[in-house]
Structure 1
Amino acid sequence: MNLTNNQKFSINHDPIKGRCLIANETIYTGEIIFEELPLVCSQFLWNAECKYDACQFCLTPLETAEENVTRLTKEQIQLPYVEQCCQTNKSKHINCSGCGQNERYCSIECCQLAYEHYHQLLCPSRSKELENNLNKLCDLWKSIHYPPETASIMLLVKILARIKQDPTFIEKLQQFSSNIIVEQTDKLVHILCGDKFHEQIEILRQIVSEIFSPNDEILQPFLTENGFKSLLAIIGKNGQGIGTSAFSQWAKNCEQFLANNPEELDKINQLTDSLFDKLDEISGCFLNNEGSGLYELQSCINHSCQPNSEVCFLKNNFILSLKAIETINQGEEITICYLDECWQNRSRHSRNKYLQKNYLFICQCRKCQQQINDPDVTSDEEEDSDLQSNPDDDDDDAMNCD
């Protein structure tokens, strides 16, 4: 759902690119182009193992900034300005009345929305068989996907629950599958599940079928072998990562709160920098509560290695904001970068090897066109980095969850 309801852009259909966003007017650097809610989202399953605590519906952190930084540094940390700058309000937190601590929410509103969208079908309190199947499914997925995760099987399960509770949801889902050609499905599933676990897709399908019913008239097309692979392909290609952090939000709020007190702000910035250094040393780079979701407008935005906008989560929950990072002229395509900062700065050859492997396309953006005559070589430094960043090489050490 588009929360901003503005006319800054339109959705066009390019014969080569498919759907794309085009600016209807000049959009200036720093402007929020739109904000939207996901159709469905889910936390990653390893969050609980690592003691991340966030709303199961909107991913708002449920721990305070002090609790967040204390857990990640493994030291008792006291932060200044917590009353003014920490947004966590524990007085509003609520547990599911059926499964209790298994499903925690930041507010009664999120609890009710979760129940209406999917949780009335997925609450483990409904039956011991359902609880066992959900646990079996989550355990298998975690064994397939060591952290850092890129998707959650519960995103797929919630999609099916939403379809069951509201069959018109199928129409919204079709826009995500419309840009996936049949030949891409197996490749996308392979990317999502990896070489070593490709054969376990059938086991996942069987468990998901037991959670619902393989004979359900509405869900049956999605529980066949091809239908299940299509859903995996949708979340593999269109799943947008979401990250929230009580400590990071406290730091941002301090900047605003102390904007007129530069001397005190400088002290806070020094404290924040030292704590982020300690976080990196103790807990690595996976500092956020993480998940993924399906967003209608975001899924229409094409990639560029030199993008003019970026996705961010300014409200520290699942609301996606698209912000312009340079002036976008009327008629110009709005783009984002599918690569992280490290990959974005690599050679054209390296970027396109990664994009072709993970997103199944060769980039033709202006940056790639400017570098088209560069030699098609990958530097030794980049190759070494690729080996070090490959999660399959060292799955067990991918995240410190102690």
Structure 2
Amino acid sequence: MATNNTVKFVINYDPIKGRSLIAKETIVMGEIIFEESPLVCSQFLWNAECKYDACQYCLTPLETAEENVSRLTKECIQLPYVEQCCQTDKCKHVDCLGCGRQERYCSIECRQRARESYHQTLCPSQSETMAINLNKLCQHWKSIHYPPETASIMLLVKILARIKQDATVVEKLQQFSSNTAQESEKFVHILCGDKFQEQIIILRQIIVDLFPNEEILNPFLTENGFKSLLAIVGKNSQGIGTSAFSQWARNCERLVANNPAECEQINQLIDGLFEKMEQISGCFINTEGSGLYELQSCINHSCQPNSETCFQHNNFILSLKALETINPGEEITICYLDECWKDRSRHSRNKYLQQNYLFTCHCPKCQQQTNDADETSDEEDEDSDLQSNPDDDEAMNCD
């Protein structure tokens, strides 16, 4: 649900291209175009092993900035201005009244919202069978998805729980991009791996056992209905990044902004710690969770986008920020590629987009590079080696 009062765009539909966002007024560089909360979101299932702790409802970090940076550098780090700049308030943290520390929240309000939204259905305290099946589902998903994760099966489970608790969620679900049966099959393949047909059978059976005799859910638990839900998760899930240390860093920079000498010292400290975290933990700096966002799912890709998604509130609220001035009638775009892919060759970018999103990009940047040789970037072979070896020790380095 969008949270801004002034709508600066319209949703356009093209029978070939699908949905898109079009600016209806001038949007200046740096402006927040909209903010929205997800239909559902979930932490990644490896977070516990990686010792990452966040609110199960809104993904606000439950660790302090010092705990965050110490975990990721594997050193005991003490930070200045912790009381003024670290916003983690452990006095407000609460556990689920039913399942205890299995579900932790940043506030009583988030605990109540989770219960009203989905957790009344999914709380393991509901029954021993519920607890067993949830654990079975999570363990199986982890066995086929090693860190760094990109989506969680719990998104699908929470969708079903939300539908059970509120039938109007079905209408909201229909706002996400629909796929042909062939496209759904491909997205499920991407999400579940080469043995996806076997995985679908296993995952579907566990989830059917989670929701026995729920007539309202029957259309989503058929073979085709289940594949469609998986495809929605595979195509539309958006990564969510929250960080107590990053929040402390932003607050600290503002605190010392008027003191040039101290500002320089703080910036050097922050840069050094970010560099150390990347060296020690790499991609695990930003692997908190994922969510399904109605408006964000309407935005098309460009290799040279005019906006970007960010999480400036350090929770699940997604903000769309303009990277340049966007004129009325122009399409609002984001980049689906990770930072390491943005500067690769047109051929490499489109190979990745075809494999993961089933389309070829024709943005201005790609059109300018049309005559470039169809050569793969040097880094791609290295990434392919890593992706083909998920059991590699480095991929499992959560400790």
| Equivalence for 2:101 | 101
What's 1:15 paired with?
Answer: 15
Corresponding residue of 2:54: 54
Counterpart of 2:31 in structure 1: which amino acid? E
The AA in structure 1 aligned to 2:123 is C
Residue 382 (structure 1) aligned to one of 376, 379, 382: 379
- Count residues in correspondence: 399
Task: Give CA-to-partner distance per residue, 1:65-116, whole Å, 9 cap, x none.
Answer: 0111112222211100111110101111110010000000000110000000
> Which 10-residue stretch deviates more, 357-366 or 384-393?
384-393
Cα offset for 1:305? 0.6
Query: Is the 8 Å Cα contact of residues 304 and 336 (structure 1) preserved in structure 2?
Result: yes
CA contact (8 A) 1:304 1:338 kept: yes
Q: When the two structures are superposed, what TM-score results if normalisation uses the length of structure 2? A: 0.97
Cα separation, 1, equivalents of 2:392 and 2:196 = 13
- Cα 1:289–1:15 change in 2 (3 A) is closer
Query: Partner of 2:361 in structure 1?
Result: 363
Separation of aligned partners in 2, 1:54 and 1:71:
14
Deviates more, 1:44-53 or 1:191-200: 191-200
How big is each residue's C-alpha offset from its partner over 1:181-205, in whole Å with a ceiling of 9 and x where there is no partner? 2210110000011114541221110
Query: 1:396: how far off?
Result: 4.3
In the other structure, the counterpart of 2:311 is: 313
Q: Is contact 2:148-2:287 (8 Å) kept?
A: no
Map 1:162-177 to 2 at 5 A: 162-177=162-177
Q: 2:253 aligns with which of 243, 255, 279?
A: 255
Please identify runs of 4+ aligned residues in structure 1 that moved more than 2 A. Answer: 382-389, 391-397
Q: Distance in 2 between matches of 1:265 and 1:313?
A: 24
Report the AA paired with residue 19 of structure 1. R
Gaps of 5+ in 2: none
* TM superposition shift of 1:394: 4.6
Partner of 1:373: 371
User: What is the CA–CA distance in structure 1 between the aligned matches of 2:310 and 2:384, rounded to whole Å?
Assistant: 29
Q: CA deviation at 1:14?
A: 1.8
| Aligned position for 2:233 | 235
Say whether 1:116 aligns with 2:131.
no
**Does structure 2 retain, via aligned residues, the 8 Å contact 1:55–1:106?**
yes
In the other structure, the counterpart of 1:329 is 327
RMSD, aligned CA: 1.3
Tell me, what secondary structure is at the counterpart of 1:133?
helix
* Cα deviation, residue 323, structure 1: 0.3
Equivalent of 1:225 in 203, 223, 230: 223
Query: Is 1:42 the counterpart of 2:42 in the alignment?
Result: yes
What is the CA-CA distance between 1:177 and the residue it aligns to? 4.4
Separation in 2, partners of 1:140, 1:25: 48
Give TM-score, length-normalised by structure 1.
0.96
Equivalent residues of 1:286, 1:399 under 8 A apart: no
SS at match of 1:286: helix
What is the Cα deviation at residue 391 of structure 1?
A: 5.2
SS of the aligned residue for 2:174 comes to: helix
Gaps of 5+ in 1: none
Greater alpha carbon shift after TM alignment, 238-247 vs 9-18: 9-18
Distance in 2 (CA, whole Å) between partners of 1:36 and 1:191 is 27
Kept after mapping to 2: 8 A contact 1:53/1:289: no
